Amino acid sequence: MQVSFACTDHGLKAPRNGEHSKQNATSPNTTTHARARFRTVALIARSLGSFTHRYHHNLKESTAKLTGMKYRNLGKSGLRVSCLGLGTWVTFGGQISDEVAEQLMTIAYESGVNLFDTAEVYSGGKAEIILGNIIKKKCWRAETERGLNRKHIIEGLRGSLQRMQLEYVDVVFANRTDSNTPMEEIVRAMTQVINQGMAMYWGTSRWSAMEIMEAYSVARQFNLIPPVCEQAEYHLFQREKVETQLPELYHKIGVGVVSWSPLACGIITGKYENGIPESSRAAMKPYQWLREKITSEDGRKQQSKLKELTHIAEKLGCTLPQIAIAWCLRNEGVSSVLLGASNPKQLTENLGAIQVIPKITAGIASEMDHILGNRPHSKRDYHH
C-alpha cells in the first residue's frame, strides 16, 4: 500500500530565514512483496494559502506567483497538489548523502513543490526518516501513510506517521499487490483511516481501471469513502493506461492521476544514446533489468526516436527531459508528475519543465506522436 500526505496552510509554519520548500533498485517483477506494504507521498501544501488565490479550489489550475509552479486538484477532490513532485525511490537513504537530500528537498520546496513521494521499503525505512527530519528541521508541515489488509493499513500508517513525526497525512495510496484481501475490507480500512483523522483522502497505486471502479462501487454501496486518485507509470513509451483507461474514470467518478517515472528510469534523459555509461544507474548490478531493456531491440528503437525528439526540444529551447515531463503534464487527468533526481542540477532542470508546457502546441504534440508512433486509440482526445 502507498501513502500520501499533504498539509493545509493553517498547519504550516512559516519558513525561517528565507527558507521555502518507481521504482526500487530491483526489477519491477521482483518488487511485489515490498510494494505490497507501503509507499508514502508527502504533500506540504503551503501552496494552498500563500501562492494561490484564496478561492483556488474553484479553479482547474492555478499558478504560484513567486515560483511559477502550477497547482491542480487531485482528481476532482478539493486537495491541491503541485504539478511536479519529488520522488525519493532511488536516492534518499541510498545513493546520496543526507546533506544532498536536504539540498534537493529545499530546491523543490523553494520551487513550489508540495508533493514528496517516499516509502517504507526505501532503504528499509531510512528514506522516510530522512524526509521527516528535513521537514521538521525546516519547520515545514506534512503528512503520510501506508498498508493493505486492515491490520497492515492501520498499523503501517501509524508506523509511517511516527517515522515522519507527523500526526496525519492528506492522502494515502493503497498499492494493489495483495489480491487476497477483499475489496470491501480495503475500502473499509481506508475509510477508517480517514474517519480516525490519520488521513484526509485515499487513492490507489498500480490498480487496474476495473479494480478502481470496484472500489468506487463498494464505497457507494456501503456508504464508505471512495478513492480520489491513482498512481500510474506514465511517459513517452508508456501511454495506454493513463490515456485510454483512466480518463473515463476521471470524467465519470473524478479519479485523477499522480504519475511516476516520467523519464522511464532515465531512459528518456538521452544519456544512453551511445551505450551505457559506467556511472549510470543501468551500469549497476541491481539494475540489470534496466540494462537489458536499454540494449534490447525495442530499447535501440526508443533511443532512435529520442534523437528525433531531441531536435524538437532544441527547437523549443529546452532539454529532452524537460519536454518529456511537460508532455506528461499536458494530460488533463494528471494532477502531478513525480520527479526523481540524484543532484541539485538535475532537479532544477526538471523543474524547468513547467515553462515548456505552453510551448507544446497541438502541432508539436502531433509531431511528437508521429515520431513515437504509439498513440493509443481512444474515443476522444483527453489532452488540452
The tens digit of pLDDT for each residue in 4-21 reads 444 433 233 334 444 443
Question: Could you tell me the CATH number of the domain that includes residue 156?
Answer: 3.20.20.100
Report pLDDT digits (tens) over 216-273. 999 999 999 999 999 999 999 999 999 999 999 999 999 999 999 999 999 999 899 8
In-domain check, residue 276: no
In-domain check, residue 71: yes
pLDDT of residue 76: 79
Among 13-17, 72-76, 284-288, 347-351, the minimum mean pLDDT is found in 13-17
pLDDT of residue 74: 84
Does an H or E element contain 260, and which? strand 256-260
In-domain check, residue 88: yes
Q: What dihedral angle (degrees, nearest 10) is formed by the CA atoms of 269, 63, 165, 87?
A: -10
In-domain check, residue 310: no
In-domain check, residue 48: yes
Beta strand pairing call for 2-5 and 39-43: parallel
Which of the residues are catalytic? 122
Whether the predicted pLDDT of 322 surpasses 60: yes
Report pLDDT digits (tens) over 186-232. 999 999 999 999 999 999 999 999 999 999 999 999 999 999 999 99
Contacts of 203 (CB under 8 A, 6+ apart): 2, 4, 74, 75, 171, 172, 173, 174, 227, 228, 229, 230, 231, 255, 258
**Measured distance CA(48)–CA(56) in Å, rounded:** 7
Residue ranges making up the domain that contains 245: 2-267+333-352
> Percent of the chain having pLDDT more than 90?
48
Whether the predicted pLDDT of 27 surpasses 60: no
**Measured distance CA(202)–CA(200) in Å, rounded:** 7
The structure's pTM equals 0.77
How big is the chain, counted in residues?
Answer: 384
Query: pLDDT: is 287 or 47 the higher one?
Result: 287
Total number of domains in the chain: 1
DSSP letters spanning 288-317 = HHHHHHHHSHHHHHHHHHHHHHHHHHHHHT
In-domain check, residue 290: no
**Mean pLDDT computed over 128-134:** 86
What φ, ψ does residue 129 adopt, rounded to 5°?
-65, -45
In-domain check, residue 345: yes
Task: Please report how many Cα atoms fall inside a 13 Å half-sphere around the Cα of residue 18, on the Cβ side.
Answer: 1
In-domain check, residue 214: yes
